[in-house]
Amino acid sequence: MRRFASSVGLVVLLCGCSSDAEGVADNAPATGGSSTGGAGAGGTAGGSGGASAGSGGSILVDGSAPTPVRALPGLESIAFYERTGGTAPTEYVFDVAGSELTVRLDDPLTDGSHDIKGASTEYYDVYYSNEDGSFNLDGSYLTISGVFENALPAGGGLNLAEIGLHFSDSSVEYGNYVASFVALGDNAVPGNVQLCIDGDLQTHTTMGNTVGATDRLRLTLGFESTSGPPR
């Protein structure tokens, strides 16, 4: 079902740095870009259990089969709204069949190898995926992952406001749940992860930094039209 402004769905978070937490995260808005924001606990988290959508034989919680994002009828482009300072996020629009979405870039992400560049040392890769963030050309999820090499006192990176599916009839569908994510470093605010699915382009996530880390920051979103209701 397409919609122009999504409401916050149920988010299930399994935080590797503390006891398991289940429910909707704190709805306090995040402000500013990568050079602003508060400190928070780093760590990794994943979505709830169940079959990985986008893989063969997967069945959604409502009994239907998942749909590859790129196979949605009338889908023309996909926009990632990333906030790095300013009064609004920057809209990065990619064609459904474009190389940005159909290829997962090799590490390391650099000034010469990225899909989105935010602040200095902030580089992101976007692609079709499974719910765990692994690349899948026919995946029912979308992932943005990347690096940011600024720790405190700088604010955390990966400031995602929304991911929007743009259709030929001018409708837009935003993500309806966070399937999994990775937050790292001393300036991460994992409790605000649901701000990328609240339908408000003035709020965003703060996923931290990758100083001394081998993993990427990451957000993987599901959509009502492809991966069904929140798990």
The answer to whether the predicted template modeling score (pTM) of the entire model surpasses 0.85 is: no
At 170-228, the pLDDT tens digits run 999 999 999 999 999 999 999 999 999 999 999 999 999 999 999 999 999 999 999 99
The single-letter code of the amino acid at 8 is: V
Residue 166 CA neighbour count, 13 Å, CB half: 15
Tokens of 87: 């009064």
Res 64: pLDDT? 79
Residue 115 DSSP SS3: coil
At 45-69, the pLDDT tens digits run 433 333 333 333 478 877 778 999 9
Tokens of 174: 């935003």
Rounded CA-CA distance 33/55 in Å is 35
Strand partners, 110: 113
What is the bridge-based pairing of β-strands 141-148 and 75-82?
Answer: unpaired
Rounded CA-CA distance 76/95 in Å is 7
Instruction: Say what the alpha-carbon torsion angle 199, 202, 205, 210 is, to the nearest 10 degrees.
Output: 140
At 77-111, the pLDDT tens digits run 999 999 999 999 999 999 999 999 999 999 999 99
> Does residue 148 have a pLDDT over 90?
yes
Strand partners, 177: 222
Q: Answer yes or no: are the C-beta atoms of 118 and 36 closer than 8 Å.
A: no
Residue 44 pLDDT level (bands cut at 50, 70, 90): very low
Q: Where are the domains of the chain?
A: 12-47+77-222
Strand partners, 73: none
Rounded CA-CA distance 109/111 in Å is 7
Res 53: pLDDT? 32
Rounded CA-CA distance 126/110 in Å is 14
Where does residue 62 rank: exposed (0-12), middle (13-18), buried (19+ CB within 10 A)? exposed
Residue 210 DSSP SS3: coil
